Amino acid sequence: MLGKHRCLVDKHGSYVDWKNALYREYEKSGAHALIGKFHDNRASFACDQYKKLTGKPAPVVAGRRLVSKEKDKAAREVLSKFLGHSRISVAAQYVGSAQ
């Protein structure tokens, strides 16, 4: 933690350096072989949460949207906050198109 701010990067470092070091350690630890890529895990989490929120599989799993546009949008709003993006357009990268 850096001062009062919640930050994993020390005051002399950069986010890119921190992220690259984290990824190197992740690869060296063997975790990547066991649990896969970060994005894949986030997508799996998002799809699981989408199903909990809507009662139906995510469009990327089902091949199409199976819930109303309103229910889909509400789920994407929740997911965008879960994933830390606060933009529902980013949720499409994890759960598929809203079409």
Global pTM? 0.70
Mean pLDDT in order along the chain per 10 residues (99 residues)? 60 80 85 77 91 95 94 93 82 84
The backbone region for 11, taken as left when phi is positive above 0, alpha when psi lies in -120 to 50, beta otherwise, is alpha
What span, in angstroms and rounded, lies between the C-alpha atoms of 15 and 37?
A: 19
Residue corresponding to tokens 């350096």: 17
* Nearest partner of 95 among 38, 55, 45, 36, judged by Cα: 45
Residue 5 bridge partners (DSSP) = 2
* pLDDT given for residue 16 in this prediction: 85
